[in-house]
Amino acid sequence: MTYEFKLPDIGEGVAEGEILKWMAKVGDQIKEDQPLVEIMTDKVNVQIPAPRTGKVLQITAKEGDTAKVGQTIMIIDDGTGDGGASPAAAPAPMPDHAAASPQPQQVPSPQSVLAAPATRRLARELGVDISQIAGSGSQGRVTDEDVKRFASGSRTGPPTATVQSPPTAVPGANLREELVPLRGVRKTISERMLKSLQTTAQVTHVDEADVTELVLLREAFKGSAEKRGVRLTFMPFIIKALVPALKEFPYVNSSLDEQAGNIVLKKYYNIGIATDTEQGLVVPVVRDVDKKDIFELAGEIEELADKARKGQLTLDEVRGGTFTITNVGAIGGLFATPIVNVPEVAILGLHKIAKRPVVRDGRVEIRDTTYFSLSFDHRVVDGAYAARFTSRVVETIQDTKKLLSEVL
């Protein structure tokens, strides 16, 4: 029986994706759950597994095509019933590009160029032929920076990695103003942040923590972490300090199902780590943090962050979060008010650790301190409840014995 493999809804507000790479061709036998196709979206690159075992009869969206969610991209004969298409009905197999003879003088058609839909739109807006651009991204992908550099007349040299793309002049703008197209990940972030603020009642609570003992504890464990081949940051300790607080205050680890009229209390702890990348902000998820020690968490955080920066996160690595942490401590500032990552109801902002004067037992001492800022949806979490939750996190962080009992 033939099965139509449709581009699944991968969440995160994504409505379409570009077929970046097929991992099977017409005539191949595939097994359920094997990596089948890599999709590039404006949010993240994901590898989608085969939905079932069978034989590939037809590929209806080739590499470079942009497919909508729900669109059939492959037809599979799963071997049940009188399946399969007749030879006359089935289109010719896709050419095996890897086996084709090289044609160095031939310019590839625009459709075969690896580039996100937003990047293609930018090229059109700037009047640039994207097929003439040598991509500097992963697997030769053309990036926004490549397009802008090409449009400005520069043809060589990779772009300098930046978090925020510099403004680019758009034809028609006057000399005193520049028009910057809202596109790609930035457009997605814009839409999600606006939706978060428009659909939730957000409040931020800020508390101070003396992390002197945490700094010493991290130093004590760094050697053991290095022997395991992982870099130990403060993040795993913060995550482990969150667990008892999330268990004690379950409404912080929840979501609101408005249609059903239910608050969904999550009894599992999947922590999203907001990660700054060249493409924009992405949030990979570390699952079941209550079941992992600090070394396991450190290794997983490092791996996910690396994949995020390379645009190699899978679907499962960016969904299913129950609570999010965003860390701007390395950048600076006193504290910020992060926006809740809906459908979650709370997000914790971590900030710079600095030596500050602190009064202890009537004396002024220099201690390592920081600020925690908890933004929450007041429809689900009351202010006093949020304050108690944050105090519980601070209490665990400041008490070496309590923290040790959580991290090991």
- Answer positive or negative: Cα dihedral of 388, 389, 390, 391: positive
C-alpha span between 128 and 148 (Å, rounded): 9
C-alpha span between 315 and 48 (Å, rounded): 7
What is the Cβ-side half-sphere exposure of residue 120, based on CA atoms within 13 angstroms? 18
C-alpha span between 219 and 134 (Å, rounded): 45
Is 222 exposed, middle or buried (CB count within 10 Å of its CB: 0-12, 13-18, 19+)?
middle
By DSSP bridging, strand 16-22 and strand 45-49 are unpaired
Query: 194-218 in b/e burial notation, b at 16+ Cβ within 10 A?
Result: eebeeebebbbbbbebbbbbbbebb
How is 205-237 classified by DSSP, letter by letter? EEEEEE-HHHHHHHHHHHHHHHHTT----SHHH
C-alpha span between 214 and 329 (Å, rounded): 15
DSSP state of 338: P
Provide Rg for the chain, Cα atoms.
25
Contacts of 383 (CB under 8 A, 6+ apart): 203, 205
Lookup: tokens for 93: 């197999």
Q: Are 75 and 85 in contact (CB under 8 A)?
A: yes
Residues marked active site are found at: 378
Q: Which one, of 67, 11, 60, lies nearest residue 39 by Cα? A: 67
